[in-house]
Structure 1
């Protein structure tokens, strides 16, 4: 979180036995809402492996926009992976809350 710039990154890792219960989406909503409403953050980012379909689905459920792909940017277990960057801006977040 960079208060001066008004930016933050949200993300998580989930215990495999907890997958499919909506925990990540609910927790991320609370974190993003806190960052926007309490800390004055303008932009919240979600960085996710381009092959992580579940993580990308969370970004979509959170109302985020796919900003782009960083090709071969992440070295993991000896292999380079693409990362997607998704984001939501404070006005979009607030509008999404009102629509729900």
Structure 2
């Protein structure tokens, strides 16, 4: 079994900024979609928390994830997202992905 590296985390936007945050994260998803080792990069809304946006990532390795921060435009998007967050981002859950539907 080949294990993968996963992250699952919540970002909370300042009031009225959730759609902008989601748009930035969707653009980040587009940028990293062709990065080495990217299996999944999902952006989700939370029905119970109107300002929360969840990011779920699956990578071949932690190194591939770390290298994705070097993809052109990613740092700029981080710079756009940071000022519209309601405080510091929570540390996401680091996961060891064992497999499942859609994981290569």
More strand by share: 1
Q: TM-score range by the shorter chain?
A: 0.3 to 0.5
State the TM-score, normalized to the length of structure 1.
0.33
Structure 2-normalised TM-score?
Answer: 0.32
Q: Which has the higher contact order (CA 8 A, sep 6+)?
A: 2
